[in-house]
Structure 1
Amino acid sequence: MKNTTLAFLFVSPALLFLLAVLGWPLVQAVILSFQDVGVIGSQGHYVGLANYAAILGGAGFWRALGRSVVWVLGNAVVQTALALATALILNQKFPGVRIARTWVILSWIVPTVVVVIIWRWLLSSSGGMINPLLIQAGVIERPVGFFATRESAMTTLILINSWRWFPFTALMMLAGLTRIPSDLYEAARIDGAGTFQRFKRITWPLLQPTLLVLGVVGTLLSFNVFDVIWLLTAGGPAGATQTLPVLIYETAFKGYRLSEAATVSVLTSILLMGFAFLATRAMTAQEAAR
């Protein structure tokens, strides 16, 4: 009990700071969701659950939620594939591996605005580099507007965001790979196991705890991405990339319905907290089973 109290005293300043920074705005958002405030600073009246009924009864929220799920799943698949391949390569011994491990994080530390400017220029249908390269390779016959159609816009955004974030995930996976004892691989080689068998029987099972943590954290981070989507497409074309964070912004600052935006924020927070709770319970049960 004494050790627990002492530990709580040590972490209490950080907990109080988080409570002030996160808890108080969340409480204010909940209060705002029960009112009919339109513009920041204006007075509102208590309307009960009217905002929740309007949001849950409308199609806009569910469509944005569906796009958010597609966004999260797409990022999860692409980032995991790129990060795992990169981590496996960086876990090998070759000249310059230390430099590669350092510089692989470059795309992650570049500011978002710079990333957006670079990719807008590369993917531009008039003057960009990607379209001419694809035409020369015979993949396409004429320039493609990567942000012009509903399907291509979402796919392009997923690829850009995955390119930005996969180095961070790769370094986390690399840290997990370095904790796997090399004796296991050596014993597997002696027993005649090939590269795929060693990956299937050793690397993948022992990397599962790291992948589960990255899955939870990555899902929460991807779900809340706003800057890349807004700066590249602003939720277009025709709302094809309007995820929940974009819907919240547009409802509050373009539609001037602040209380409805707060309602969507509260519902989104409940969804994410529920996911985090269930994922944490699943990880705890899996650790206990081991």
Structure 2
Amino acid sequence: MTHVKHRRKQQKLSDPFLARQTVVGYLFVLPLLLWLAGTILYPLLSTMYLSMLNIKIIGSRGNFVGFENYLRIFNSSQFWNASWRSLLWVVGNAILQTFLAFAIALILQQQFRGRNFVRIWVILPWIVPTVVVVVIWRWLLTASGGIINYLLLSFKLVNQPIGFFSTGRQAFLSVIIINSWRWFPFVTVILLAALVRIPNELYEAAGVDGASRWQQFLHITLPGLQSVLFVMGLVGTLLSFNVFDIIWLLTSGGPASGTTTLPVLIYDTAFKKYRLSQAAAMSVIVGVFLLIFAVLFIHYMAPALDEEGA
């Protein structure tokens, strides 16, 4: 009985201390919450309100039109074409970047002379500014005087120069290749860091048991990369979907809207066609779509991650 009373007394004495700790914790977190509210929540609510007006340019006043902008967007073939193009953009970049990154990461995991040098400089395309990337690839792929066409003609692989940006389909494919070239080193470094963490003893034991290279890749490498692939699949998709700079600098969405993805369409609608509220409505729709994708991706992919952690 005396022990119980002493325990309750100690608990009462510790309660004010715990309360002070809680208050101090909230005070430390408060600046971050205010920063997030000012930089994310307020712009988000402002965009939603703007999407229900009929403002055309920044600084002008508009009338409340409700969901009229949303109805106009959903009835727009241009919006759906850009949506389909954005989906192809994400899938194309994901396949090409993952394939290149996997191949290079597996090579860099092997022992060879100069491996450390290659590991350092493989990141170079990713750290080059976007404008420099655009200038380099514009020069490489130009139909007149471009080094790619020069090599193709020299080896007699083509009969005439290829206009890599002459049609919408060729321009779209070219931009995917350029963007993948820029981003695959970043993915390579992440995959390589995850590969290094997989114990070599697992591969040695599998080799002793007679497992082939492909079987080792399926049953050791892929499970070891599961958590990394989960995060990259989520974050990489969101980042790829929102790419704007390299597309706009290379093609400005052309030719004939062949490279107009949703971010490019939103920019063009807001600052070229002067339909600011309509562009805001598109942004809200895209934001809701990406949020739904993130929730579904986490819901269906996270259990596999939890099993690994268990």
Q: TM-score, normalised by structure 2?
A: 0.89
The answer to whether 1:170 aligns with 2:188 is: yes
Percent identity of equivalent pairs: 54
SS at 2:268's partner residue?
helix
Which residue in the other structure is 2:105 paired with? 87
Per the TM alignment, residue 277 of structure 1 is displaced from its structure 2 partner at its CA by 1.4
Give the match for residue 127 of structure 2: 109
Tell me, in whole angstroms, the C-alpha distance in 1 between the residues paired with 2:26 and 2:151: 58
Q: Whole-Å Cα distance in 2 between the matches of residues 78 and 12 of structure 1?
A: 42
Name the structure 1 match of 2:235: 217
- Partner of 1:264 in structure 2? 282
Aligned length: 290
Q: Which segments of 5 or more consecutive residues in structure 1 lack a partner in the other structure? A: none
Tell me, what secondary structure is at the counterpart of 2:145? coil
* Counterpart-to-counterpart distance in 1, 2:161 and 2:25: 61
Amino acid at match of 1:284: A
Letter in 2 for 1:239: S
SS of residue matched to 2:225:
helix
* Aligned counterparts of 1:193 and 1:117: Cα–Cα separation in 2: 47
Counterpart secondary structure, 1:126:
coil
Q: 1:194 — aligned with what?
A: 212
Rounded Cα–Cα distance in structure 2 between residues aligned with 1:172 and 1:69: 24
Offset at 1:196? 1.9
> What is the Cα-based RMSD across aligned positions, in Å?
1.9
Find 2:116's aligned residue among 93, 98, 111: 98
Match of 2:71 among 44, 49, 53: 53
Comparing 45-54 with 196-205, greater Cα deviation is found at: 196-205
Matched, 1:252 2:270: yes
Corresponding residue of 1:123: 141
Distance in 2 between residues matched to 1:73 and 1:238, nearest whole Å: 22
| Cross-structure match for 1:179 | 197
Contact 2:266–2:282 (CA under 8 A) maintained in structure 1: yes
1:78 aligns with 2:99: no
Q: Deviation of residue 174 (structure 1)?
A: 0.8
Contact 2:56 2:275 in 1 (8 A): yes
Determine the C-alpha separation between the residues in 1 that align with 2:218 and 2:176: 28
Match of 1:235 in 2: 253
Amino acid at match of 1:237: P
Q: Compare 135-144 and 118-127 and name the one that shifted more.
A: 135-144
User: Which of the residues 215, 226, 232 maps onto 2:244?
Assistant: 226
Output the CA distance in 2 between the equivalents of 1:90 and 1:176.
Answer: 12
Residue 137 of structure 1 is matched in structure 2 by: 155
CA separation in 2, counterparts of 1:155 and 1:161? 10
1:237-280 per-position Cα deviation (integer Å, ceiling 9, x unaligned): 10011000000011001100000000000001111111111112
Closer/same/farther in 2, CA of residues 61 and 192 from structure 1, 3 Å limit: same
Q: Return the match for 2:60 from 21, 31, 42.
A: 42
Q: CA deviation at 1:288?
A: 3.3
Residues 12 and 166 (structure 1), Cα distance of their counterparts in 2 relative to 1, 3 Å cut: farther
Report Cα offsets for 1:123-150 as digits up to 9, x if no partner.
0111110001112223211101101112
Structure 2 residue identity aligned to 1:240:
G
Aligned to 1:158: 176
Larger CA deviation: 34-43 vs 134-143: 134-143
Task: For 1:10 and 1:156, locate their aligned partners in 2 and report how far apart those are by CA, in whole Å.
Answer: 48
